[in-house]
Structure 1
Amino acid sequence: MQVGFLGLGTMGFPMAANLVKAGHRVRVWNRSQEPVARLAALGAEPAAAPADAADGAEVLIAMLADDAASRDVLLAQGALDALGKGAVVVNMATVSVAFTRDIAAEHAARSLSYVAAPVLGRVNVAEAGQLNILAAGDVAQLDRVQPLFDVLGQKTWRFGDRPEQAAAVKLAANFMIASAIETMAEASTLAAGHGVAKTAFLEMLTSTIFAAPPYKGYGAAIAEERFEPAGFKLSLGLKDVRLALEAADAVNVPLPFAGVLRDNHLDALAHGEGHLDWAALSRVAERRAAQK
């Protein structure tokens, strides 16, 4: 399959690499050229601009940072205009519900199809091709791109025929991950206040009643204070919490704890920690308890 791939960051690079290794013809673009050169060495075709990556593509995958980057690359830099009629765009990044609805309408006006398919999993999961893919869109188009999803993930979860449904699911999931990080931070700080080692406390919890990937992965990072290099930056966690609040506001769903999470993320950013891994949110609870 002829695939265009936009965005070769922490997650995008291993995803594009897996498509190349699976034998797909992949033309790649990124703002910085270093990952493009590395993928070209694996057999990908480099593109000088987003429109070049889109030209001739049957499927165009976007894995860009946020709404603004997606809008700029897809619209302002001409990626959509370069696609032939009948092509499908698969946005696998975490973006807002409102943006997803708007960009899907832009695609329809151009006789293009749009599928939302954000992913669950950190970089090591992406490298192994074991992502969980949260998809929504036209059933025929989902079926069309399923062979690509089979390369990238261990399972594709379908949530409806409107792309914004997948965006809502991803934001709800990331809200839960942020909540897990915050809960572990507060609970381990409580235990530490009574002289219990955080490593022992978190190892016990994540090996027993909370033995799930987000708890085990972020719990180990909190216990070891392993915040660099960031697998997922804390600043991006704030972006996702804000998007969850925005999506909730649009349908009159109160998310009181999300407000707490937003403020704690802002505390972390105010202390210059936005570049650290999301697990560094734990420092907020430690500071408030005078343990740092």
Structure 2
Amino acid sequence: MTTIGFIGLGAMGLPMAQNLVARGFSVRGFDLRPAARAALATAGGSDAPSAAEATHGADAAVLMVVDAAQAEQILFTDGALAALAPGAMVLLMATCPPAAVAAIAARVVAAGFGFMDAPVSGGVVGATAASLTIMAAAPMETFATARPILDAMGGKVVHVGEAPGQGATAKAVNQLLCGAHLAVAAEALSLAERLGVDMHVMLDIVGGSAASSWMLGDRGPRMLEETPAVTSAVDIFVKDLGIVLEAGRGAKTALPLAALAHQLFLSVSGRGLGAADDSQVIRAYRNLQGHGG
């Protein structure tokens, strides 16, 4: 497997595609933004003017798109699936609801192609460093065939199971923890701020204690900045925690902490800050406490 059509050259997709190029794969990339396609071409890939031209004759299509609806549009309406080489496979690496992933997989397999459900965790930093955690679900034969592609983008590749949607389920559990950790870190730091404790001192204390978490260590410093650089947007957690809650409803499982975290991110997005760094969920608390932000 050497030729890959890569759809979705966003903040994570572009470095993922560039890492594939660096590992010797022939990559044709498509994105609605010409600048993103040009960046891939500069790295040694090819600029495709459409999704179907990106996947034409390719051995695999990698989709790092916004959501399941966009994946369906690209595969079944825009012609990306039909353009693939016979027997090729689709790797859906976006975060999508498990039920939607299973439905897409059924259509892909019925058309004679392989399918892998392979969402990722690690953000822009992990995508750039090729150190993503990849949660892959596919029959073992498909997984083994796709392993070189996954290894080119990830530092931890886990075979979750053989059924489509199992990777998406694992990602939902991961995002529940990430979103809740981030929201409670913001709550703790906002309390310190309200009580007049030096925020940098407080972060140093909790960051080196049993209270610490990866999200606190990574996002905490950015909560102290007025306009931090964006590594993952508020609206990503609005979407991902929405997927978590959808999965919970489907399983009739109560997820009160996920629901509260979702509301906090949603409140920040509703104030026009959806594109801000997700550390700015702390602004939800500042607003609740009546001192803006």
Output the amino acid matched with 1:273.
L
Output the amino acid matched with 2:90.
V
List aligned pairs for 1:138-287, cutoff 5 A: 138-227=139-228, 229-287=229-287
Counterpart-to-counterpart distance in 1, 2:142 and 2:211: 37
Q: CA deviation at 1:60?
A: 1.0
Match of 1:90, SS? strand
Counterpart-to-counterpart distance in 2, 1:210 and 1:28: 43
Q: CA deviation at 1:208?
A: 3.1
Counterpart-to-counterpart distance in 2, 1:225 and 1:158: 40
What root-mean-square deviation, in Å, do the aligned CA atoms of Structure 1 and Structure 2 show? 1.4
**What is the aligned residue count?**
291
Question: Does residue 81 of structure 2 align to residue 80 of structure 1?
Answer: yes
Q: CA deviation at 1:226?
A: 4.4
Could you tell which deviates more after superposition, 211-220 or 58-67?
211-220
Counterpart-to-counterpart distance in 1, 2:85 and 2:105: 16
Could you give the per-residue CA deviations for residues 97-140 of structure 1, whole angstroms, max 9, x where no partner exists? 12101100011110111101111112122111111111111111
1:60 maps to which residue?
Answer: 61
Counterpart-to-counterpart distance in 1, 2:166 and 2:215: 22
Output the amino acid matched with 2:18.
A
Q: CA deviation at 1:250?
A: 0.7
| C-alpha contact (below 8 Å) 1:85/1:110 kept by paired residues | no
Counterpart-to-counterpart distance in 2, 1:107 and 1:162: 14
**CA 1:210–1:90 in 2, change beyond 3 Å: closer, same or farther?**
farther
Counterpart-to-counterpart distance in 1, 2:212 and 2:190: 20
2:38 maps to which residue?
Answer: 37
Q: CA deviation at 1:199?
A: 2.1
Counterpart-to-counterpart distance in 2, 1:113 and 1:63: 17
Could you tell which deviates more after superposition, 214-223 or 243-252?
214-223
Counterpart-to-counterpart distance in 1, 2:132 and 2:266: 29
Match of 1:156, SS? strand
Report the TM-score, using the length of structure 2 for normalisation: 0.95
| C-alpha contact (below 8 Å) 2:237/2:262 kept by paired residues | no
2:93 maps to which residue?
Answer: 92
Output the amino acid matched with 2:275.
H
Match of 2:116, SS? strand
Query: Where do 5+ consecutive residues of structure 2 fail to align?
Result: none
| C-alpha contact (below 8 Å) 1:122/1:232 kept by paired residues | yes
Counterpart-to-counterpart distance in 2, 1:158 and 1:226: 38
Report the TM-score, using the length of structure 1 for normalisation: 0.95
Match of 1:163, SS? coil
Counterpart-to-counterpart distance in 2, 1:160 and 1:205: 37
Identical positions, percent = 31
Counterpart-to-counterpart distance in 1, 2:223 and 2:146: 37
Counterpart-to-counterpart distance in 2, 1:45 and 1:267: 40
Question: Does residue 114 of structure 2 align to residue 113 of structure 1?
Answer: yes
Output the amino acid matched with 1:202.
L
Q: CA deviation at 1:198?
A: 2.0
Q: CA deviation at 1:69?
A: 1.5
Could you tell which deviates more after superposition, 184-193 or 240-249?
184-193
Output the amino acid matched with 2:81.
L
| C-alpha contact (below 8 Å) 2:181/2:213 kept by paired residues | no
Could you tell which deviates more after superposition, 11-20 or 62-71?
62-71
**CA 1:94–1:19 in 2, change beyond 3 Å: closer, same or farther?**
same
